[in-house]
Structure 1
Amino acid sequence: MLKKDVRRQITTPLGGPAFPPGPYKFHNREYLNIVYRTDLDALRRIVPEPLEIEEPLVKFEIMYMPDVTGLGCYTESGQVIPVKFNGVEGEYLHSMYVDNHPAIAGGREASAYPKKLGAPRLFIDSDTLVGTLDYGSLRVATATMGYKHYPLDIEKAREEITKPTFMLKIVPNFDGTPKVCELVQTQITDLTIHGAWTAPARLQLFEHALAPMADLPVLEVVHASHILTDLTLSAAVPVYNYLNEK
C-alpha cells in the first residue's frame, strides 16, 4: 500500500477497518431518558473544569438503535450531566456502555464518546418500558417507566435531544503522557421526532467497581421521557485544550 493510500485510511486494521466512515444516520432510534436528582458533592468530583454544574441532576439514558448506516443494530446506555460552558447550557457525557464493537471503536477514535463494552437492553414488559444495563454478568442499572401514558410536547422532546453535548477527547502518547487532551462539543441538528411520551418512572443503580454508575446516587426522579426519532450524528469540534494550560 502506498503512503498516500495509508493517509486516506481512517482506522485499522487496513484489511478490514473497525468501522466505516460517517456520517451515521439513525432510523427509529428510541430513547428512554430518566432525569434524577443526585448528590452535589459526587457531581463535583467527576465533572471536569471548565464545565460548570448548574443543578445536582443526572440523566440516565438507554437508546435502542435498530438501523444505523454502517454500524448495524445496537443499544447503548449512559449517564449525562447538565452543565454550562462559557455561558452555554449543555450536557456532559460522562459514561456510555455499548454492545456493538464498530460503535465503540468509531465513537472513541473518530469522535470522543466515552464508550465501553456493556450489555444494555430496552424492551416492553406488559405495560412497562424497561431499560437494563449489565456489565459482564452483573446488573448495573434497572429503569422502568409507564408505557406511553401521556404525550410529551414535541418541542420539549426536541430540546432534550438537541442540547449541546460536551465530551473529553484523551489520546495518550506511547510513553503514557497525553498527546490529545481536549474538551469537545457536538450537537444534533438533523432530527425528526416520530413520537414522545412521559410517565411515572423509577431507576435503580447497583454498585460496581468498573461500571460505577451508582457513584451518582438516585435521590429523586425528576422527569422521564420515551422518544422515537430519526437523526444524523454531527461531527465533534474542540472547544478547550487542557494541554495549553500552564
Structure 2
Amino acid sequence: MKESEVRQHVTTPLVNPAFAPVVPRFTDREYLNIVYRTDADALRAVVPEPLKFEEPLVRFEVMKMGDVSGYGPYTESGQAIPVVLDGEHGEYLHAMYLDNFPATASGREVSAYPKTIGAPNLYVDNGALVGTLDYGSLRVATATMGYKHNRLDTAEATAQITVPTFMLKTIPDYDGSPRVMELVRTEITDVVVKEAWTGPARLQLFEHVLAPLADLPVLEVVSASHILTDLTLAPVKPVHDYLTGARR
C-alpha cells in the first residue's frame, strides 16, 4: 500500500476498520432523561475549567437507538452536567456506557465522547418506563418514570436535546505525555421530535469503582422526560487548548 493510499484511511485497523467512516443518522432515538440535584463539591471535582456550572445538576440519560446508519441498533447510558462557557449554556458529557463496540470506537476516535462498554437497557414494565445500567454483572443505575403520564411541549423537548455539548479530547503521545488535550464542542442537528412526555421519576445509583456514577449522588430529582426523535450529530470543533491555554 502506497503512502498516498495510507493517508486516505482515517480508521484503525488499517484494512479492517472498527467502524464505518460515515456520518450516522439516528432514527427512532428514544431518551429517558432524569435531571437531579447533586453535591456541588462532587461536581467541582470533575467539571474541567474553563467550564463552569451555575447549579449542582446532573442529567442521567438512557438512550435506545432504534436504527443508526453504520452501527445498527444499540443502547447507551450516562451522565451529562449542565455548564456554561463564555456565556453559552450547554452540557459537559461526563460518562457514557453502551453495548456497541463500533459506536464506542467511533465516538472516542473521531470525536471525544467519553464512551466505554456497558450494558444499558430501556423498557416498559407495569406502567413504568425503566432505564437500567449494568457494568459487567453488577447494577450501577436504575431509573423509573411514569409511562406517558403528561405530554411535553415539542419545543421544550427539542430544546432539551439540542443544547451544545462539551467534551474533553485527550490523545497521549508515545512517552505518555498529552499530545492533544482540547475541550471540544458539538451539537445535535436535523431534529424531528416524534413524541415527548414528562412525569414523576426516581433514580438510584449504586457504588462501583470502575463505573463511578454514584460519585455524583442523587439528592433530589428535579425533572424527567421521555422523548422519541430522529437526529444527526454535528462534527466536533475545538474551543480550548489545554496545552497552550488558547481559546479557539
Q: Give the TM-score band, short-chain normalised.
A: over 0.9
Question: C-alpha deviations, 1:28-80, integer Å up to 9, x for none?
Answer: 00000000000001000110000011100000000000210001111110000
User: Paired residue for 2:104?
Assistant: 104
1:132-211 map, 5 Å: 132-211=132-211
TM-score by length of 1: 0.99
SS of structure 1 residue aligned to 2:243: helix
User: Paired residue for 1:19?
Assistant: 19
Q: Distance in 2 between matches of 1:137 and 1:48?
A: 31
Question: Percent identity between the aligned chains?
Answer: 66
Q: Distance in 1 between matches of 2:32 and 2:212?
A: 20
User: Paired residue for 1:65?
Assistant: 65
Shift of 1:105: 0.3
Q: Distance in 2 between matches of 1:232 and 1:166?
A: 16
- Paired residues in the alignment total 246
Shift of 1:14: 2.0
SS of structure 1 residue aligned to 2:21: coil
User: Paired residue for 1:51?
Assistant: 51
Q: Distance in 1 between matches of 2:160 and 2:22?
A: 24
**Does the CA contact (< 8 Å) of 2:66 and 2:73 recur in 1?**
yes
Matching of residue 95 in structure 1 with residue 109 in structure 2: no
Q: Distance in 2 between matches of 1:212 and 1:20?
A: 31
Q: Which residue identity does 1:8 align to in structure 2?
A: Q
Q: Distance in 2 between matches of 1:66 and 1:155?
A: 22
Shift of 1:190: 1.1
User: Paired residue for 1:8?
Assistant: 8
TM-score by length of 2: 0.98
Question: Which consecutive unaligned segments of at least 5 residues does structure 1 have?
Answer: none
Q: Distance in 2 between matches of 1:235 and 1:203?
A: 32
Shift of 1:186: 0.2
Root mean square deviation, CA, Å: 0.9
Q: Which of structure 1's runs of 4+ aligned residues deviate more than 2 A?
A: none
SS of structure 1 residue aligned to 2:222: strand
Matching of residue 119 in structure 1 with residue 119 in structure 2: yes
Shift of 1:15: 2.2
Shift of 1:245: 3.1
Question: C-alpha deviations, 1:195-220, integer Å up to 9, x for none?
Answer: 10001000000000010000000000
Q: Distance in 1 between matches of 2:52 and 2:123?
A: 35
User: Paired residue for 1:77?
Assistant: 77
